[in-house]
Amino acid sequence: MAESAHTKVLILGGGFGGVYTAMALEKLFKKDNSLEIGLISNENYLVFQPMLPEVISGSIGILDVITPIRRLCPRTNLYTREVESIDLKNRVVTTSSGFRPLPYQLTYDHLVIALGNITNFSGQPGLLEHALPFKYLGDGLVIRNHIIHALEEADIEKEAEVRRALLTFVVAGGGFSGVEAVAELNDFVRAGSRSFRNINAQEIRVVLLHAGPLILPELPETLARFAQNLLQRRGVEIRLNTLLEGATAEYALLKGGEKIFTKTLISTVPSAPNPLVAALLCKKERGRIVVNEFLEVPDYPGVWALGDCAAVPDYKTGQPSPPTAQHAIREARCLAHNILANIQGTTKKRFVFDALGKMGALGHHSAVAEVFGFKLSGFLAWLMWRFIYLMKLPGLDRKIRVATDWFLDLILPPDIVQLKAERAPGIGRAHFEAGEIIFREGDKGDRLYIVVDGQVEVVKGETVLGQLGPGECFGEMALVSDSPRNATVKSRSSVNVLTVDREAFHALFTHLPPLRKLFEQIMEERLKAPMQ
């Protein structure tokens, strides 16, 4: 990289990899303003995922496991946007639009890719529709609300079979996140059920499905066995060597044809590469970007990658580092050092890191841990788990909040408030006063509009192409052709409209032939007598 007055580092992803890279760069460059750091993330906070399972039970408040990125890296320009595409050849990243539907592009001298991976249910019929993923903060909240909803319904359900399904909770995945989730869920439903007049805790069934012969394959056998026995003693039914094959609204379908009737299915597997990473032409290993020991992407000077989305070789072992937060944090420090070395022409560091250990919480004041080769289980491991993660949680205010949550959780009953925060996806409403611009020529086609009442006019340059009123729609052309708006639409009077977003429109357009026919007809007529 050539030295310049301003070197632009652009980081993609606001997880451990991205945020800790920004923090390390800020520290290394201190008051040196020659480095401009930008970070794009679809959320403006960092999620402390190791504590996410406790959001399910409510023993930690939802906002206490997240830290605003702006506080962690105050010198970094944060773009809270969705990355839409990465053009490595022209060194340009395109993000989603904000309130105004305009495409937004950022250039860079150094690009740091830290986009993590995603939950992918494709190949398992019905999971997308009926299983709850567990990876992001929102997932924790959705699962929590869903569980409380199931308890509410079971309390008033008269039909025995439906009641049994409502009180059956299934978690698929016996790795760390699945085991921690099932432990929290089990504690929560059993303790929470005491507040429901018609639920007997004996009726509750919590099932963990695991593909292998023993849960927690990441841990030594003795610890994994300890965890397995403990969960079983607490009433978790563990189904080993069992694969989840699909789901419907009524049941989880296991390989071999067995059905478990349930209204709550949580799946922590499988994960897949982020589609943006999958679309890159650079070399990959099992979907992860191949980088060298300095975390550089070969053949793309100035491009770096780390965290779950990268196959980072450990210099000592040559093996790719496991996808964990502790590795992402160490990789971030090494990567920031190497960007500095690249700019200053000094020596780069090879990535090497001996993991400190592995820990998993099992609920009810117990955990399992292997730290510096020592194995611990039970209460002592739980105390250590809490202490270490509290120390690692970024931000003093968050540490205080979580410590308070934990203390209150010891003395108060579980909170069973169900928050109903969902909005109908895809369809919205908007109101415009006379003379307002609804969208401009050149804007991105992000939604379809249907006039409920009032009048709008379609304008191209100075020419008014036409007027539309109640029951008529506009904005479909740009959605169908995936091109910018070819005209401006203004409100002539006070107008109320329904809006259908791009995803919902495409789903209906693709799968409902009569609707597709209708839109094709509308577009044909408009092309003959041009309108938007």
Which residues in this chain contact ligand FAD in the complex, by CB under 6 A? Answer: 13-18, 40-43, 49-50, 52, 82-83, 114-116, 134-135, 176-177, 274, 276, 307-309, 323-326, 328
The least CB distance from residue 42 to ligand FAD, in Å, is: 4
Q: How many residues does the chain have?
A: 532
Question: CB-wise, 109 or 331, nearer to ligand FAD?
Answer: 331
Residue 114 beta carbon to ligand FAD: minimum distance, rounded to whole angstroms:
5
* Rg of the chain in Å (alpha carbons): 26
- Cα 126 from Cα 455, distance rounded (Å): 43
CB nearer to ligand FAD: pick between 57 and 177: 177
Task: Give the single-character DSSP code of 348.
Answer: P
- Please, what is the minimum distance in Å from the beta carbon of residue 418 to ligand FAD? 22
Among residues 264, 249, 136, the alpha carbon closest in space to that of 207 is found at 264
Smallest gap from Cβ 227 to ligand FAD, in A, equals: 14
Nearer to ligand FAD (CB atom), residue 175 or residue 530? 175
Pairing type for strands 447-453 and 104-107 reads unpaired
Q: Tokens 């943006």 identify what position?
A: 276
Say if CB 426 and CB 503 are below 8 A apart: yes
Q: Which is nearer to ligand FAD, 41 or 67 (CB)?
A: 41
* CA quadruple 502, 503, 504, 510: dihedral sign: positive
CB of 178 to ligand FAD, least distance (A): 9
In the bound complex, what is the minimum distance in angstroms from residue 81's beta carbon to ligand FAD?
A: 7
242 versus 324: smaller Cβ distance to ligand FAD: 324
Q: How far is the CB of 62 from ligand FAD (least distance, A)?
A: 14
In angstroms, what CA-CA distances link 443 with 313, 366, 455, 518? 43, 55, 21, 24
Give whichever of 14 and 414 is closer to ligand FAD, judged by the CB atom: 14
User: 391 or 411, CB closer to ligand FAD?
Assistant: 391
β-pair partners for 439:
489
Q: How far is the CB of 63 from ligand FAD (least distance, A)?
A: 16
In 394-503 the beta strands, taken as DSSP E runs, fall at 427-432, 437-439, 447-453, 456-460, 463-468, 473-474, 488-491, 495-501
Q: Minimum CB separation from ligand FAD for residue 260, in Å?
A: 22
Beta strands in 313-453 (DSSP E): 357-361, 367-371, 374-378, 427-432, 437-439, 447-453
Give the separation between CA 432 and CA 418, rounded to whole angstroms: 34
Which lies closer to ligand FAD via its Cβ, residue 41 or residue 342? Answer: 41
Dig out the tokens for 78 from the structure.
Answer: 């944060």
Q: Angle 324-371-135 (CA atoms, 0-180°, nearest 5)?
A: 25
Considering the complex, state which of residue 180 and residue 476 has its C-beta at the smaller distance from ligand FAD: 180
Which residue's entry shows tokens 């509290």? Answer: 390
